[in-house]
Structure 1
Amino acid sequence: MNRRELLAVAGMLGLAPTLARAAGQGGDATAARDAYLYTLPLIEMATARERILKIPGAAINTLRHTRTLSDHTARWVTTPNNDTLYSPAFLDLTKGPVTLTIPPMGKRYYSAAVMDMFTNNNVVLSTRTVGGEGGTFTLVGPGQASTGPNPTRIATPHAWLLIRTLTDGGDDLDATHKSQDGFKLTGPAGAPTATYANRDAKPADYFAAARALLASDPAPPTDQRILRRTGAFLGDGSFDEAAAAAGVEQARTIAVFAKDRMVFTGGWSYPRANLGDYGQDYLYRAIVAQQGLGALPVAEAMYMKAAGDNGAGVFTGDGLYRLTLPAQLPLDGFWSLSMYEATADGQFFFTDNPLKRYAIGDRTAGLKRNADATLDLWIGRTDPGGERTPNWLPAPKAGPFAMYLRAYLPRAEFLDGRFRLPAIVKA
């Protein structure tokens, strides 16, 4: 990220005074800031890998299936979805390729995303790209040769495979589990992984971890410019610890401010076109790694957050809200509107409610449509009653809340902005 790009983002986020102070601390602090933001995806991926591998039965190059949808008790990751079951596996390709077999899925939606350690989606094998017939794919690391079927090149020696399988829950779970069990991952046993410092570590520990991760999973040739500029912190040798501390403080300030400074258009925030495949947009990549690790590319799914009462993504009212949607959204998959209670530290989780309904969408049974086939969704802390109850998305009994709408397999008019969601309004 060059100075002009950073100043533009700083202006949007209200960070110009912070960066002005940073300028007085010299180029070393600026390089430390950029080094932190550049390597934050590596750190977040290593942290996620360590956390998942602590789960009993989890191992490198081994799929682990979740069997139930998230509910109000699920607090292990912010903004969970209530549409799909996950099957994650961290990959080690250093000893050779691994083979992923996707079973015939018919009309059931699935996606198998393989992200390199910089969080770019190198490939998404899905209903959209592969189809319902399934197939076998050989995941190949850098510099490796493969004679396996459908060789698929991964940019780093280590990676994260994250499979999402659509389920309606309830009576559909058994069939969903059978579909999950059809996914097979075979290959050499992975080597044990090291433990690395997390994003909140002391600057010296953070940069030591970043250097080790870059050695394990080297950056692409297209990143040589930023690597040269940040070489004091990401290369060999010692560095100025005062400058490192100043730069890391700047980077963390940027990330914190960005979390609450979303841009809303017509009542919703929309993802950038490069979500999930960031190129050299290192700042956006860092922010997503911290707030939504594992995000799919927009061609696969779009995630929109409602603006809320305060225009910053949070609702606080005790009254009734309404979202009126057209008869058909421009997508080839499915959509859902999820309700989250907001915690004091800025995270979002499902909220307990009498319907045990954490999201509402086009697959929700019993929805009542208007005469013109449009759909009124009613949102509030109490049951709106009568004909509105089937279309009720319960809000928390008290406290602030937020809503996200997920749209899978969006069409061109959704992707390019010709279609915009109607705003959520007070009823």
Structure 2
Amino acid sequence: MNRREWLAMAGALGLVPSLARAQNAGGDATAARDAYLYALPLIEMATTRERILKIPGGAVNTLRHTRTLSDHTARWVTTPNNDTLYSPAFLDLSNGPATLTIPPMGKRYYSVAVMDMFTNNNVVLGTRTIGGEGGTFTLVGPGQASTGPNPIRIATPHAWLLIRILTDGGDDMPSTHKAQDGFMLKGAAGEPVATYAHRDAKPADYFAAARSLLASDPAPATDQKLLRRTAAFLGGGAFDEAAAAAGVDQARMIAVFAKERMVYTGGWSYPRPNLGDFGQDYLYRAVVAQQGLGALPVAEAMYMKAAGDDGAGNFTGDGLYRLSLPAHLPLDGFWSLSMYEATADGQFFFTDNPIKRYTIGDRTPGLSRKADGSLDLWIGRTDPGGDKSANWLPAPKAGPFALYLRAYLPRAELLDGRFRFPAVVKL
């Protein structure tokens, strides 16, 4: 994030005066702001690891299969999907490589994403990349040698492995569970996992956690320029508390309200090409870590957010909305529209509703299509009734909500922007 970008955003959010006060006090609030945003993916990964490993039976280098689709009670990661069963595992490769065995999956969609602690997808193994025959792969940490089959280098000693397996639910669950059970992960015993401060911690605690995480999972050499500039916060030593507080406050607001980085085209925001492999785009990486941790790269899946009533992704109306989709979409996988309630800190989770429908998509049973195969989807807080009920996606009873459209295995015309989805219309 350069100075021009920052000043534009700071002006829009009314943050420039507080930043100036902190800098005039002799502190470097700019460095604190950038240090917070840089470390946010590490903090979010550590927080998610803590949540998962606290579940009875949780351990590093161990797969944990979720046997039910995510619903309104799922709070372990923001913006979950309701299309696939998850099988997460947090890796500790510090004592040696891990071996992953993928069973034959046939035509069923699946993906195995391995993300380093900076949330970059180091590899995605699945339908798109290796097909349905499966195989055995060796996950190798930095500086390690491996004689195992199909070695894959992971950028940090610790990582998050996340399996997604498509399921239709209901009668399809037993065969989906069987597919999950075919995945095997073996690795050396890891070190005890520490607990770290969360993103809303006091600045001193947040930066102490960030330094510890950077010690266990060092940054790439390409980040040294930023690390030198933020050394007072991420490298240790004393720093001005007033500057730290001002910088952290601004960073938190940016992470939630980074509107100028989310451009809406025809009623939808489309992911940037570097989603899931961020390079030095530290701001985008931080925003995704807080609002969509674990996002796949665009070649695997595209996540579109509807512009909402305010043009910034928030729906607040009590009336009915409509999304009209053509009969055929440019993708080789599947699509779904998900409903989320928005939290005060910028995260999104499924919302409880009377028909227990959290998403609607191409595999939703009983959808009512027009003669040409196109669809009208109806979004609202109450059942629209009549023929519309079959295509109803319930919104929260009260409060703001957000709509995300997922398209798996997008084709070139969706990736390059030749195809755009119709906007959600307020009736």
Give the TM-score range, shorter chain. Answer: over 0.9
Q: Distance in 2 between matches of 1:354 and 1:46?
A: 34
2:51–2:76 Cα contact (<8 Å) kept: no
Contact 2:9 2:260 in 1 (8 A): no
TM-score by length of 1: 0.93
Q: 1:376 to 1:213 in 2, by over 3 A?
A: same
- Which residue in 2 is equivalent to 1:380? 380
Unaligned runs of 5+ in 2: none
Aligned match of 2:200: 200
The one-letter amino acid of 2:314's match is V
Instruction: Check if 1:132 corresponds to 2:166.
Output: no
1:156, distance to aligned residue in structure 2 (A): 0.6
Q: Deviations over 1:214-266 (max 9, x none)?
A: 11111111111111111222224333333323322232232233279843221
SS of 1:323's equivalent in the other structure is: strand
Amino acid at match of 2:199: R
Q: Which amino acid aligns with 2:90?
A: F
The letter of the residue matching 2:312 is: A
Distance, in Å, in 1 between the alignment partners of 2:6 and 2:310 is 27
Structure 2 distance, partners of 1:2, 1:313, is 25
Q: Which residue of 2 aligns with 1:311?
A: 311
- Give CA-to-partner distance per residue, 1:75-128, whole Å, 9 cap, x none: 444332110111111111111100111111111111111111111111111111
User: In the alignment, is the contact (CA less than 8 A) between 2:377 and 2:393 conserved in 1?
Assistant: yes
Q: Report the equivalent of 1:152.
A: 152
**Preserved contact between residue 119 and residue 294 of structure 1 (Cα < 8 Å):** yes
Residue 6 of structure 1 is matched in structure 2 by 6
Does the CA contact (< 8 Å) of 2:138 and 2:151 recur in 1?
yes
Superposed, 1:385-396 pairs within 5 Å as 385-396=385-396
State the match for 2:51 in structure 1. 51
Contact 1:13 1:258 in 2 (8 A): no
Task: Note if contact 2:27-2:240 (Cα within 8 Å) is conserved in structure 1.
Answer: no
Is residue 163 from structure 1 mapped to residue 163 from structure 2 by the alignment?
yes
Q: 1:261 to 1:121 in 2, by over 3 A?
A: closer
- In 2, the alpha carbon distance for the partners of 1:396 and 1:4 equals 38
Q: Contact 1:270 / 1:305 at 8 angstroms: preserved in 2? A: yes
> Which residue pairs with 1:31 in the alignment?
31
Residue 28 of structure 1 and its aligned partner are, at CA, apart by 2.4
Q: Is the 8 A contact 1:261 1:312 kept in 2?
A: no
- What residue is the counterpart of 1:251 in the other structure? 251
CA RMSD across the alignment: 2.2
TM-score of the two chains, using structure 2 as the length reference: 0.93
| Structure-1 separation of matches of 2:240 and 2:345 | 32
Letter of the 1:388 counterpart:
K
Superposition deviation, residue 19 in structure 1: 4.7
Relative distance call for 1:19 and 1:303 in structure 2 (3 A) is farther
CA distance in 2, matches of 1:2, 1:60: 38
Q: Secondary structure at the match of 1:245?
A: helix
1:360 is the counterpart of 2:360:
yes
> Counterpart of 1:62 in 2: which secondary structure?
coil
1:14 to 1:418, Cα distance in 2 relative to 1, 3 A: farther
Q: In structure 2, the residue corresponding to 1:123 is in which secondary structure? A: strand
2-structure distance, mates of 1:361, 1:400:
22
The answer (yes or no) to whether the contact 2:78–2:290 under 8 Å persists in 1 is no
- Quick check: 1:71 aligned with 2:87? no
CA positional deviation for 1:20:
4.9
How far residue 8 of structure 1 moved from its aligned partner, in angstroms, is 4.8
Look up the SS of the partner of 1:252 in the other structure: helix
Gaps of 5+ in 1: none
Rounded to whole Å, the distance in 1 between the matches of 2:223 and 2:372 is: 53
Alpha carbons of structure 1 residues 203 and 150: separation in structure 2 relative to 1, 3 Å: same
Distance 1:250 1:24, change over 3 A: farther
- 1:142 is aligned to 142
The question of whether the paired residues in 2 share the 8 Å contact of 1:15 and 1:254 is answered with no
What are the Cα deviations for residues 33-86 of structure 1, in whole angstroms up to 9, with x where unaligned? 211211111111111111211100110100001000122333444332110111
AA at the equivalent of 1:389 = S
Q: For residue 329 of structure 1, report the CA deviation from its aligned partner.
A: 1.0
CA contact (8 A) 1:28 1:243 kept: yes
Is the alpha carbon distance of 1:37 and 1:344 closer, same or farther for their aligned partners in structure 2, counting shifts above 3 Å? closer
Partner of residue 233, structure 1: 233
Question: 2:48, 2:77 within 8 Å by CA — same for their partners in 1?
Answer: no
SS at match of 2:85: strand
Instruction: Tell me how far apart the structure 2 counterparts of residues 294 and 110 of structure 1 sit (CA, whole Å).
Output: 15
Return closer, same or farther for 1:77/1:382 CA change in 2, 3 Å cut-off. same
- Contact 2:290 2:347 survives alignment (8 Å): no
